[in-house]
């Protein structure tokens, strides 16, 4: 049975898996809804997007995704408010970043209507899957990869853009202890660090595993040149509070331009919190930890939302962060999630209703 | 019908595609043989390798290869000599490098016997596909990727290792004009540049496309710090001849440890050619081009073999290289291919017969 909504063809799944899902005990990104959006690029153009039953993808072994790493993705969430209305948070920012990533990875840019109409239609079809319980949300994973074939190191001639949905709980359970990295690096100057491409993640797994063996959940990456400045934490941007000043590194070609990051900066300003976007040296963070002026560190990202850091390790020493009653992290997390779940006024115009 | 050879199970293809192949007009890596080797990693260990008919791969949309870039590969060739015997060139070097890449990308290392017995068996099953004509060979593509599922940025729990075969002609047609890159970079210090991972290739496509628009076939990458030193050319390592001295950059964590590169160095020494493995600055190459002491530049790699560079561009100026009667490139190419095709004595013990 096919239907059409917002110019998007819908092929409905014959049965639903929703009855098998325990919505009170969701992990992150491991259960998928009944449908997905698929859009194919071939003969030099994007074909019309379709909502189809969630299903396996079949590829030739010579498909370039297996060999040359042309893959990009986005992370978004859909929020259901108390009245059952469904909201997205700054979706056009994700769309723009997807195309920025696509350009850097020599992949075709996607038309805005295919992204927005496709996503909206998919969310409407699977709206029963959007959790309403606190701390849960529907994680949205738009991704694009090279599906064209050939063992020649050059861009593919065919691509697939897919949106899949995963009802999810928290990304981190509990507080996060991080290691400030001195040996390995995430990104090169003039490289692809700012793009949300698969290789940026795979490259972090081994150093992150080494850090995990020492008891750290995440690595804070520093510049690959001298490891002097804090860059980002791979799955999130990093904020540092010294006394009452909130600091974060400027984005550049090595650092992801996080949507949560820039929203946090706007909310902080709105709250009258002093912010500075500038290079943050490891040295000043260590000194601030030693002299007691380091009040907070936290990560910010779509999956992680705002994740307080409980301690950081550097050169074999662990530095604990204080537990604050009135932390910037809790204030900013409350403000941003209140906007996302439609529990507060949206003075920035960030909410986007899915109708 | 199943058979077993070298402990590898073989499931034969019902029909062969070989009759459809024009072996006199082979492109590079675009036609695949009747079979492939497949080896699955699950429940914490590699399962026994199997030769099966070349066939599509089916994956869940949440498979980590689409999202987090855990993919590595190798490039090898099989050569058929005049008597019909089949040879590999230093295959254990590829095996060792595959596992070095696997470790850096937090992927499971493969047992040597699975690699060597699997490859040998596959080549025996598809031996009719190995071209005998000059300039052609059977390109071998071993690759491994994350097949496990989940939208969590962490290593997968399942992987696939596959070897596919492609009868191939030359990688480059004609001489190669290169651009020495000043803006973009291939690899970070402490990053994954030495690993043969997909992301290292995808990251080069956009800058290479920009270079192609200006008439260059390849980019020569420089350090991401100040773009002062020549690193590699992405699909090949780079050699520079100044007067009678052959120079190439030392390998490090940014540069692939090329098997052709190190073989060329050994052959050059054997020929009495003076070689130096040291940092090669762009400045000295430009100066040598200006004062006439730059005699040759060439790339070296499995796919490219030895590819003479006809000119390089830097800061908007093109520098042509002379055409030499007795170039090191032709001498070294002849020496290495004579060993590969069993046309000369193998004093280094590099040839490996497939029996």
Chain A, 146-175: which have a CB under 8 Å from a chain B CB?
A: 146, 149-155, 162, 164, 166, 168, 171
What is the ipTM metric for this complex? 0.97
Q: In CATH, which of 3.40.50.1820, 3.40.50.720, 3.30.470.10, 3.90.1300.10 is domain B2-168?
A: 3.30.470.10
3-state secondary structure string across B245-310: EEEECCCCCCCCCCHHHHHHHHHHHHCCCEEEECCCEHHHHHHHHHHCCEEEEEEEECCCEEEEEE
Q: How many residues in total does chain A contain?
A: 355
| Nearest CB to A191; choose among B66, B188, B197 | B188
Separation CA A184–CA A160 (nearest Å): 32
Chain A, 130-149: which have a CB under 8 Å from a chain B CB?
A: 139, 141, 143, 145-146, 149
Min Cα distance B193 → chain A (Å) is 10
| Nearest CB to A67; choose among B58, B68, B198 | B198
pLDDT at A172: 80
pLDDT at A234: 83
| Nearest CB to B206; choose among A106, A202, A225 | A106
Average pLDDT over residues A82-96: 97
pLDDT in tens, A129-168: 999 887 789 999 999 999 999 999 999 999 999 999 999 9
Q: Which of B71, B236, B42 is nearest to B141 (CA)?
A: B71
pLDDT in tens, A31-42: 999 999 999 999
Write out chain B's pLDDT in tens, 355 residues.
689 988 999 999 999 999 999 999 999 999 999 999 999 999 999 999 999 999 999 999 999 999 999 999 999 999 999 999 999 999 999 999 999 999 999 999 999 999 999 999 999 999 999 998 877 899 999 999 999 999 999 999 999 999 999 999 988 877 799 999 999 999 999 999 999 999 999 999 999 999 999 999 999 999 999 999 999 998 899 999 999 999 999 999 999 999 999 999 999 999 999 999 999 999 999 999 999 999 999 999 998 899 999 999 999 999 999 999 899 999 999 999 999 999 999 999 999 999 8
pLDDT over 70 percentage in chain A: 100
Is A226 touching B (CB cutoff 8 A)?
A: no
Cβ pair A67:B153 closer than 8 A: no
Q: What values do phi and psi take at A339, rounded to 5?
A: -70, -45
Q: Which two structure tokens, joined as six digits, stand for A30?
A: 């491991």
Interface test with A, best of B54, B62, B202 (most A CBs within 10 A): B202
Cβ pair A190:B224 closer than 8 A: yes
- For residue A170, is pLDDT > 90? no
pLDDT at B170: 86
If 0-12 CB within 10 Å is exposed, 13-18 middle and 19+ buried, where does residue A79 land?
buried
Min Cα distance A62 → chain B (Å) is 8
- Cα dihedral sign for B246, B252, B253, B258? positive
| Nearest CB to A104; choose among B68, B146, B206 | B206
Cβ pair A185:B184 closer than 8 A: no
| Nearest CB to B202; choose among A143, A199, A205 | A199
Beta bridge partner(s), residue A297: A240
The segment(s) of chain B belonging to CATH 3.20.10.10 are 176-340
User: Scanning every residue of chain A, which has its alpha carbon at the shortest distance from the alpha carbon of B60?
Assistant: A56
The segment(s) of chain A belonging to CATH 3.30.470.10 are 2-168
Separation CA B164–CA B160 (nearest Å): 13
| Nearest CB to A56; choose among B58, B104, B204 | B58
Is B192 touching A (CB cutoff 8 A)?
A: yes
Cβ pair B151:A66 closer than 8 A: no
If 0-12 CB within 10 Å is exposed, 13-18 middle and 19+ buried, where does residue B317 land?
exposed
CATH class as words, domain B176-340? alpha beta
Q: Which of B61, B65, B159, B106 is nearest to A29 (CA)?
A: B61
Chain A, 31-90: which have a CB under 8 Å from a chain B CB?
A: 32, 36, 54-63, 65-71, 73, 75
- For residue A1, is pLDDT > 70? no
Provide, as residue numbers in chain B, all residues whose Cβ is less than 8 Å from the Cβ of A34.
none
Chain A, 263-292: which have a CB under 8 Å from a chain B CB?
A: none
Provide, as residue numbers in chain A, all residues whose Cβ is less than 8 Å from the Cβ of B161.
none
Separation CA A297–CA A177 (nearest Å): 10
| Nearest CB to A57; choose among B61, B145, B184 | B61
Mean pLDDT of the residues in chain A: 96
Q: Which of A110, A99, A97, A92 is nearest to A39 (CA)?
A: A110
């Amino acid at each position: 049975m096919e239907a059409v909504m917002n110019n998007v063809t819908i092929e409905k799944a014959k049965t639903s898996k929703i009855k098998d899902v325990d919505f009170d005990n969701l992990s992150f990104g491991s259960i998928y809804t009944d449908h997905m959006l698929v859009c194919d690029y071939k003969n030099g153009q994007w074909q019309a997007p379709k909502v189809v039953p969630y299903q396996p993808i079949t590829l030739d072994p010579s498909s370039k995704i297996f060999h040359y790493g042309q893959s990009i993705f986005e992370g978004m969430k859909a929020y259901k408010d108390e009245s059952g209305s469904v909201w997205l948070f700054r979706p056009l920012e994700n769309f723009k970043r997807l195309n920025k990533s696509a350009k850097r990875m020599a992949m075709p840019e996607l038309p805005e209507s295919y992204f927005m109409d496709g996503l909206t239609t998919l969310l409407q079809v699977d709206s029963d899957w959007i959790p309403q319980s606190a701390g849960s949300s529907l994680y949205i994973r738009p991704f694009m990869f090279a599906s064209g074939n050939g063992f020649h190191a050059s861009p593919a001639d065919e691509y697939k853009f897919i949106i899949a949905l995963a009802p999810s709980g928290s990304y981190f359970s509990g507080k996060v202890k991080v290691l400030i990295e001195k040996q390995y690096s995430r990104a090169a100057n003039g490289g692809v660090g700012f793009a949300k491409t698969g290789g940026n993640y795979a490259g972090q797994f081994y150093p992150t595993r080494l850090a995990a063996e020492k008891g750290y959940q995440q690595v804070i990456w520093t510049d690959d040149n001298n490891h002097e400045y804090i860059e980002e934490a791979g799955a999130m941007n990093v904020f540092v509070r010294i006394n009452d000043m909130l600091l974060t590194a400027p984005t550049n070609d090595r650092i992801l331009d996080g949507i949560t990051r820039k929203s946090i900066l706007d909310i902080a300003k709105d709250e009258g919190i002093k912010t500075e976007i500038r290079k943050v040296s490891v040295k000043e963070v260590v000194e601030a930890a030693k002299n007691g002026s380091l009040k907070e560190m936290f990560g910010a990202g779509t999956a992680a939302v705002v994740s307080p850091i409980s301690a950081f390790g550097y050169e074999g020493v662990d530095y604990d962060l204080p537990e604050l009653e009135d932390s910037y992290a809790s204030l900013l997390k409350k403000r941003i999630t209140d906007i996302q779940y439609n529990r507060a006024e949206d003075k920035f115009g960030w909410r986007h209703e899915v109708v």
